[in-house]
Amino acid sequence: MCRGYLLPMRNRPALVFALGLAACTPPKPPAPTVTVAPTADTAIVPVVGVASAASRSDGKWTALALLEDQLYLADFAGKSVAPFPGITKADVPHPVTLIGIGDTIIVGDWGLRRFTEWSPTGQRLAAWPAPDSLQGALPRARDAAGQWYFELWPDAKPDGSGLIDSGAVVRADPQLGHFDTLARLAPPELVKVSGVDGMHYQRRSMGGNDAWGVLPDGTLWVARVFQNQIEWHHPGVKTIVRSPRLPDLVLTVSDMDREIYVRRFPEDQRQTAREVPNAPVKPPFEHVFAVPGGRLWLAKSDTALARLRHFQVVDSTGVLLNIAVPTYGFALGVTADYIVVGEEFPGGIRLLRFRVPAEAKAATR
């Protein structure tokens, strides 16, 4: 028997619930939820925050701390953390991007406008200048063929009106001589505010962004934050593969969320951070990670004091499995075997490494 159902959707600037089309077959049943076992695998990074992390085959993880301009190597087996060997302040004074390629890392430096490749032992293997034709942008990904992938945004302009325009994912050949645009990215959530020079556009705090990444074969995936849907752009194929719109627990931004957000800034910047208008609704996901087999793990937004963090394991058919992790931290990486999160505490960032449950491995084969 045919029946209709409600499909939750997101739209800027407010949440909109739209009635889905009538369906003549029952909707796909909800995916099961698996709770991950607690872990004793911990490593303490003595920093204010960890922006990103990359795994290695020996079980160690490289962590990027932006405020400290430092890369660290976390050894869960030895429960130790140390500055990444071989990388000096002269080599990389201001690291801002981190790409893991097997056991090597590629680090982008905004001050020197270049990116460098490093071996696991800290030997510099190669260096490239940031392309002038891309206004000095640094790469965010690289595929198995050596092609580079960049994220570009238009100039914001003095009144912020440039923020209205969409961004782009741009691919470059290994020699950085040829560039082509693969996908457009949605503009951020904006608000028009009054300033000393009149009205201007400003980005809302705690809003979401389209996330993207590249698989080894050059397939570009894009997680659309406002549609809550995944796209796959396969090399040489014009048709874009899209998942169904994903289930989404809608959460409003609370006073506690705002306070946690503000506390992440240095004290002299906190009042300015408080004055930035925030997004009214949390994005459906905070981070997205690709695992072997091409599946994606979406780290979901949650309430400020939640003691479990949730992931959705997704392919082109939708959600395969929900994963609950016993932590209040933020997701930093997922591999075939491990989930790594960071927890803020007075001593810095506590990295936790959880084992991927067997059910998730079965779902991603």
pLDDT in tens, 227-257: 999 999 999 999 999 999 999 889 999 999 9
Contact, 10 vs 281, CB < 8 A? yes
CA-wise closest residue to 152 among 180, 174, 129: 180
Q: pLDDT per residue over 161-184, tens digit each?
A: 888 999 999 999 999 999 999 999
DSSP secondary structure code for residue 259 in this structure:
H
Q: pLDDT per residue over 174-220, tens digit each?
A: 999 999 999 999 999 998 888 777 788 889 999 999 999 999 999 99
* Amino acid at position 11, single letter: N
Domain boundaries, the chain: 6-363
pLDDT band at 292; cut points 50, 70, 90: confident
Contact, 153 vs 170, CB < 8 A? no
State the alpha helices, DSSP H only, in the chain: 255-263, 270-275, 358-363
Q: pLDDT per residue over 34-70, tens digit each?
A: 999 999 999 999 999 999 999 999 999 999 999 999 9
Q: Domain 6-363, what architecture?
A: 6 Propeller (2.120)
Contact, 91 vs 83, CB < 8 A? no
pLDDT at 196: 73
pLDDT at 267: 86
